[in-house]
A = this chain, B = another copy of it.
C-alpha cells in the first residue's frame, strides 16, 4: 500500500469531496450511513491511518495545557493576560516542543466551570494554568475535585492543597510604599484590585504595613480592571480636598490611568505627583515620563508554572514564590 495515503487521494478514488470523506471517517451524521460505510470500508482497504481520536485515546495524552479567561479577569485585550500568555506559550514550547498552550475566553454572563468541564470532557487538555486566583476560587474547588493536574498563578484560600506559583506582593508593595515615604510623601493613595483576588489582599497588606510603620493614615480605593476606572478615581482624588501627592497602584494598567489623570489635572507625573505601578507592563506607545514599577519577569514565572504543570505528582503540593524588583524610573524622580 502507498506509504502516505491522504484524504485527497481517498476522495479522488471514491469520487467524493475531501470534506465528505473526512466527515464520513469522523462518523458525522450529516453524511449518509451508506456513504459512511463505503468510505470507511475503502479507507480500511487501502490502509488509510485510523481515526486520530482513537489513537489519542490509546496514548491518553493530548499534549496541551489549557488557560481559560473569564470575563471578570479580562480578556485578550488585557495586558496582564497577553503578557502571561506570550511567556507561557514560549516556556511551554521551550520545555516541550510538541505541546500547545490552548486558550479560550468565557463571556462574563456564562459559568466558566462549564468551559473547564467541556475542556476536560472533550479531552482537549491534560492540565490547566489558572490565573488571577481568588481567595474563594470555584475553579480551584472544581479542579481539585476533577483530579486533573493544574497549577495556579497566585495563591488561594486552599493554597496548601494545590501547586502554585506566586509573587511576594506584600513585601513588594511594602517596599514601594516605603520608597515613596522616603521621598517625603505623606498622603499616599493606594489603587487596588477588588479584594476577592488573593493578591489584592497581599498588596494591601504590604501598603498598610509601610503606612502603619511610618505612622501615616492609609487610604485605599478598589477599581475594576482597566485603565479608565483608575483614571476616574485618580481624577476625583486629585480634584478633591486633601489630594494625594503619590499613588501606589496594584497594576501598571491602573498607573497609566493615574498618569493621564495627573496630566489632565495640570500636574507632571514624577515632578509634582509620584506614581509606582506593578508588573512592568510596557505602554503600547512611547511614553514620557517612564513609569516606576514593581517588576517581575513573566518569563521566570511562566517557566516555573510550566515546569510544575508538565510534571504532575501525587506528593505534597509544590510552591514557588518570587520577589518583585522595585524599578525606579521617571515617575518617582
A residues near B (Cβ < 8 Å) are 6-8, 11, 17-23, 26-29, 51-64, 75-77, 81-83, 85-86, 89-90, 93, 97-98, 100-107, 110, 115, 118-124, 126, 144-149, 227, 231, 256, 260, 283-287, 312-314
Contact with A20, one of B57, B64, B93, B314 (Cβ below 8 angstroms) = B314
Identical chains bound together, number: 2
- A67: nearest chain-B partner, CB-CB: B103
Q: Which residues of B sit under 8 angstroms from A51, Cβ to Cβ?
A: 57
Given contacts A27-B58, A102-B102, contact A52 B121 (CB under 8 A): yes
Q: How far is the CA of A6 from the CA of B52 in the complex (A)?
A: 28
Q: How far is the CA of A55 from the CA of B148 in the complex (A)?
A: 18
What are 11 sample pairs from A and B whose C-beta atoms fall under 8 A apart? A8-B147, A19-B149, A19-B314, A20-B314, A51-B57, A52-B122, A75-B89, A85-B105, A100-B115, A123-B123, A285-B285
Q: How far is the CA of A174 from the CA of B313 in the complex (A)?
A: 60
- A61: nearest chain-B partner, CB-CB: B28
Query: Are A75 and B64 interface neighbours, CB within 8 A?
Result: no
Q: How far is the CA of A287 from the CA of B26 in the complex (A)?
A: 51
Q: Which residues of B sit under 8 angstroms from A90, Cβ to Cβ?
A: 107
Q: How far is the CA of A98 from the CA of B121 in the complex (A)?
A: 12
Contact with A145, one of B8, B58, B60, B147 (Cβ below 8 angstroms) = B8
Give the one of A54, A76, A283 with max B CB within 10 A.
A76
Q: Which residues of B sit under 8 angstroms from A81, Cβ to Cβ?
A: 76
Q: Which residues of B sit under 8 angstroms from A21, Cβ to Cβ?
A: 147
Given contacts A64-B122, A103-B104, contact A110 B93 (CB under 8 A): yes
Q: Which residues of B sit under 8 angstroms from A107, Cβ to Cβ?
A: 89-90, 93
Query: Are B22 and A63 interface neighbours, CB within 8 A?
Result: no
Query: Are B60 and A89 interface neighbours, CB within 8 A?
Result: no
Q: How far is the CA of A110 from the CA of B94 in the complex (A)?
A: 11
Query: Are A19 and B100 interface neighbours, CB within 8 A?
Result: no
Query: Are B63 and A57 interface neighbours, CB within 8 A?
Result: no
Q: Which residues of B sit under 8 angstroms from A85, Cβ to Cβ?
A: 75-76, 105
Contact with A62, one of B59, B124, B260 (Cβ below 8 angstroms) = B124
**How many Å from the CB of A115 to the closest CB on chain B?**
6
For the complex with contacts A19-B147, A52-B120, A75-B86, 10 further pairs of A-B residues with Cβ separation under 8 Å are A22-B148, A27-B57, A56-B123, A76-B82, A101-B105, A102-B104, A102-B124, A103-B103, A103-B104, A285-B285
Query: Are B144 and A18 interface neighbours, CB within 8 A?
Result: yes
Q: Which residues of B sit under 8 angstroms from A118, Cβ to Cβ?
A: 63, 98, 100
- A93: nearest chain-B partner, CB-CB: B107
Q: How far is the CA of A312 from the CA of B23 in the complex (A)?
A: 10
Q: How far is the CA of A148 from the CA of B102 in the complex (A)?
A: 19
Q: Which residues of B sit under 8 angstroms from A149, Cβ to Cβ?
A: 19
Q: Which residues of B sit under 8 angstroms from A110, Cβ to Cβ?
A: 93, 97
